[in-house]
Amino acid sequence: MTKTYDAFTLKMVAIIGMLMQHTAIVLGPAVPTVLHFPLQFGGGFTFPIMAFLLVEGFRHTSNVKRYLGRIFIFALVSQVPHMMAFSTAVTQETGVFGLNIMFTLFVGLLLLVLHDTMKRRKLFWLLFVVLTLVTFFFDWGVVGPVMVLLYHIVSTEKIRRMIPQILGFWYFIAFGIIVGFSVGLIAAIDPELAAAMSDKLAAMTGDEMSMAQNLAGLLFPVGMLASIPLVRGYNGERGRSMKYLFYAFYPLHLLALALISFALGNGPLFPFI
């Protein structure tokens, strides 16, 4: 396969995909139903590319501590915009917010460092399991760190550029099946509890969110598979420099979407206060 895509090109695809999916999620019913399908599909490109470039950055950085520090700082900066954008009635009631995707990337990078420096392999794999489980409440948690590590440890170049996406695809498909089966089982055992869960789901997605818009989310894992040709086409070149633009775009676009959502009357701007 001809290697034609540099890091700049891949980052731009990731940024566009991120904006597409977050627009569908944050603005919800305000976005025409027909647009939810391509927006969710585009979102599937984002994390596989981010994770792949994280590994490439780790392999070529001259100062991994500075790399870790930079991601951690942007994770901290991004948390408030993340909470503003993805606030829901459920999180307002519980006061619980997940951590943003930059924290997931930070854990993934930390695991890469530990993998290459720890001589006690059993201890490393124990830490890997613990840190991965910790990310359960992070954006792209659990599967995210696993994908990052796979991009690093799979030795065959062709395979390592596609296995993480395939894993991510089946993870989200399996997750959807398990959730659907669980809801059906609960409905059969306790209809009242199932009705309460349905009310919570409506609060999360918005009363006006149609079934079609929710089903559009099924195209998200398909987008992950569609990212394989792009990752495989990476030519190893940096392209245009956008060292901080990629990181800065994340909190800035979340803040912008939160403000638009607030202007549309979708809820308080600071639900966590």
- For the segment 103-115, the average pLDDT, to the nearest whole number, is 98
What are the boundaries of each domain within the chain? 7-263
pTM of the full structure? 0.88
Least confident of 66-70, 94-98, 136-140, 239-243: 94-98
| pLDDT averaged over every residue in the chain | 86
* Contact between residue 80 and residue 37 where contact means Cβ atoms under 8 Å apart: no
| Maximum separation of any 2 CA atoms in the chain, in Å | 58
Q: What's the CA gap between 197 and 203, in Å, rounded?
A: 10
Instruction: Note the pLDDT tens digit of each residue in 56-74.
Output: 999 999 999 999 999 999 9
Alpha-carbon Rg of the chain, whole angstroms? 19
Residues in the chain: 273
Report residue 22 as tokens. 């977050």
Instruction: Note the pLDDT tens digit of each residue in 152-196.
Output: 999 999 999 999 999 999 998 887 787 667 666 766 776 665 556
Q: Is the pLDDT score of 150 beyond 80? A: yes
Q: Is the pLDDT score of 98 beyond 50? A: yes
Q: What's the CA gap between 17 and 25, in Å, rounded?
A: 12
